[in-house]
Amino acid sequence: MKFFIDTANIDQIKEAQDLGILDGVTTNPSLMAKEGITGEENIKNHYIKICEIVDGDVSAEVISTDFEGIVKEGEALAELHDQIVVKVPMIKEGIKAIKYFSEKGIRTNCTLVFSVGQALLAAKAGATYVSPFIGRLDDISTDGLNLIEEIRLVYDNYMFETQILAASIRHTMHIIDCAKIGADVMTGPLSSIEGLLKHPLTDSGLEKFLADYNKNN
Ligand code: E4P
């Protein structure tokens, strides 16, 4: 399972990278705005900066919603760095653009996916990644993990190569549940990844080992 961090915050990206388990980064316009990154040039430079920190894929989202606009923006983003994956919204024009990009060898992440039907279309168009937003489904009392399970079944039925990128991860249990289901990738905040480290028996066990050592040395 690949681990992506879902942020545009440079300190958090560096911290996850230093842990040695990071496979990539996902961003979106809201996450860029949260870090105060505005203006086309600053946004592009920020993507390059992120690519230089991590070894893996960096999703950069287009703002356009028409085919020509998505293609123009996506090609410019892909030119920035080899690690860029063009993030395209799940809309009709987006599907057309994903098909175009896949024929050109430009990798894509189909974002804002909330149903199996949408995931099926993204795979048929040749998306590299599909991003079902599980946290946002949970927010409206719909089982986000169930969607991951259903997409896994459909993709396996037809051996689609599109990778399931479980997005909108909110906490550590989401990561564990996605791993059990067989999501190819998860993207979440640093806190959800660090939560995997924690167990009270690890803490008390280590405390006892160190105390015993210190008593006798
Ligand atoms: C993923 O690519 C999205 O940017 C992200 O996971 C959305 O998460 P949110 O629902 O917590 O905003």
Encode pLDDT of 120-176 as tens digits.
Answer: 999 999 999 999 999 999 999 999 999 999 999 999 999 999 999 999 999 999 999
> What's the N-to-C CA distance of the chain in angstroms?
42
pLDDT band at 203 (very low <50, low <70, confident <90, very high): very high
What number of helices (H) and strands (E) belong to the chain? 11, 8
What ligand 1 atom has the least distance to the C-alpha of 87? Answer: 2
Residue whose Cα lies nearest atom 7 of ligand 1: it is: 168
Residue whose Cα lies nearest atom 9 of ligand 1: it is: 168
Task: Please tell me the predicted confidence (pLDDT) of residue 79.
Answer: 98
CB atoms within 10 A of CB 145: 19
- CB 111 within 8 Å of CB 87: yes
Task: Please tell me the predicted confidence (pLDDT) of residue 19.
Answer: 97
Task: Please tell me the predicted confidence (pLDDT) of residue 57.
Answer: 98
What ligand 1 atom has the least distance to the C-alpha of 109? Answer: 2
pTM of the model: 0.96
- CB 165 within 8 Å of CB 130: yes
Question: What does the pLDDT average to over 107-114?
Answer: 98
Question: What does the pLDDT average to over 29-41?
Answer: 96
The pocket around ligand 1, CB under 6 angstroms, is made up of 6, 26, 28, 111, 131, 133, 135-136, 167-168, 187
Residue whose Cα lies nearest atom 11 of ligand 1: it is: 168
Catalytic residues: 87
Residue whose Cα lies nearest atom 6 of ligand 1: it is: 168
What ligand 1 atom has the least distance to the C-alpha of 139? Answer: 10
Q: Ligand 1: distance of its center to the CA of 6 in Å?
A: 7
In angstroms and rounded to an integer, the radius of gyration of the C-alpha atoms of the chain is 19
Q: Domains of the chain, with CATH numbers?
A: 2-215 (3.20.20.70)
Task: Please tell me the predicted confidence (pLDDT) of residue 73.
Answer: 98
Q: Ligand 1: distance of its center to the CA of 111 in Å?
A: 9
* Side-chain-side CA neighbours of residue 67 (13 Å): 9
pLDDT band at 17 (very low <50, low <70, confident <90, very high): very high
pLDDT band at 16 (very low <50, low <70, confident <90, very high): very high
pLDDT band at 3 (very low <50, low <70, confident <90, very high): very high
